[in-house]
Amino acid sequence: MLITFIKMKKIRFTLVGDKCGKTSLVQRWCKPLESIKPSKTIAIDMRSMVFSLENHTVCVQYWDCSGDMSFQNLLTPYLKNAELIAVCFDLTQANSWLTAQYWTDVALENTEDTPICFIGTKLDKESKRIIKKTTVRRYIRSINARNTFYCETSAYTGENCKDTLSMCIFESLRTSIKYTSLTFDSEKEKSCILM
């Protein structure tokens, strides 16, 4: 048991974006069967979980950053040390998408080739959607960064949360330690768009 723990690969995900549902998504990832209890994030929260993917067991650490811009200078080290950056935004709020673009600039200034997953949240509010998939895809192409992909989730219903997490783990393993033997289930790829 101890040996397994020592050998386990640790990967750090840093989640940035405004108040769009990051903490709720992390709750859904860590406790998929429990109902969401939103809680205010002061500066940064850390949670971790063990996840198995394709016979690899990994410890995932979530660095869940506050959406409050007064903490923004504190957060840069968490971008630099991440194996994956999740840039989150609320699909129903134009400002949230603008803030996501701001965080993308900060991430690109401070990192090199770290995978970036764009996550559109609150997919359950489809009728109130303002940010179209095509807008996000066009933007991601325009920044011309490697290792970017796009997923949409609902922490409330759980829709697409597990596939998004699998994709994030897969991409961070692939780029950080070159698990070339990893293959990805094509069903999961359908719900996440590799750019």
Ligand X SMILES: Nc1nc2c(ncn2[C@@H]2O[C@H](COP(=O)(O)OP(=O)(O)O)[C@@H](O)[C@H]2O)c(=O)[nH]1
Question: Among residues 23 and 104, whose Cβ is nearest to Mg ion?
Answer: 23
Question: What is the pairing mode between strands 44-53 and 9-16?
Answer: unpaired
Tokens representing 43?
């500066």
Question: Among residues 11 and 155, whose Cβ is nearest to ligand X?
Answer: 155
Q: Is 14 in the site for ligand X (CB under 6 A)?
A: no
- 140 vs 36: CA distance, rounded Å: 30
Q: CB of 165: closest distance to Mg ion in angstroms?
A: 17
Q: Is 120 in the site for ligand X (CB under 6 A)?
A: no
Q: Is the dihedral of CA 99, 105, 109, 115 positive or negative?
A: positive
- Identified binder of ligand X from the candidate list 103, 150, 156, 170, rule CB under 6 A: 156
- 114 vs 132: CA distance, rounded Å: 25
- 125 vs 155: CA distance, rounded Å: 11
Question: Among residues 15 and 53, whose Cβ is nearest to ligand X?
Answer: 15
Q: Is 122 in the site for ligand X (CB under 6 A)?
A: yes
Question: Among residues 20 and 85, whose Cβ is nearest to ligand X?
Answer: 20
- 164 vs 54: CA distance, rounded Å: 15
- Identified binder of ligand X from the candidate list 12, 13, 16, 41, rule CB under 6 A: 41
Q: Is 77 in the site for ligand X (CB under 6 A)?
A: no
Q: Is 118 in the site for ligand X (CB under 6 A)?
A: no
Question: Among residues 1 and 42, whose Cβ is nearest to Mg ion?
Answer: 42
Instruction: Provide the CA 60 distance to its chain's centre, in angstroms.
Output: 12
- 159 vs 5: CA distance, rounded Å: 31
Judged by the rule CB under 5 A, the positions of this chain that interact with Mg ion are 23, 41
Binding site for ligand X (CB under 6 A): 19-24, 38, 41, 67, 121-122, 124-125, 154-156
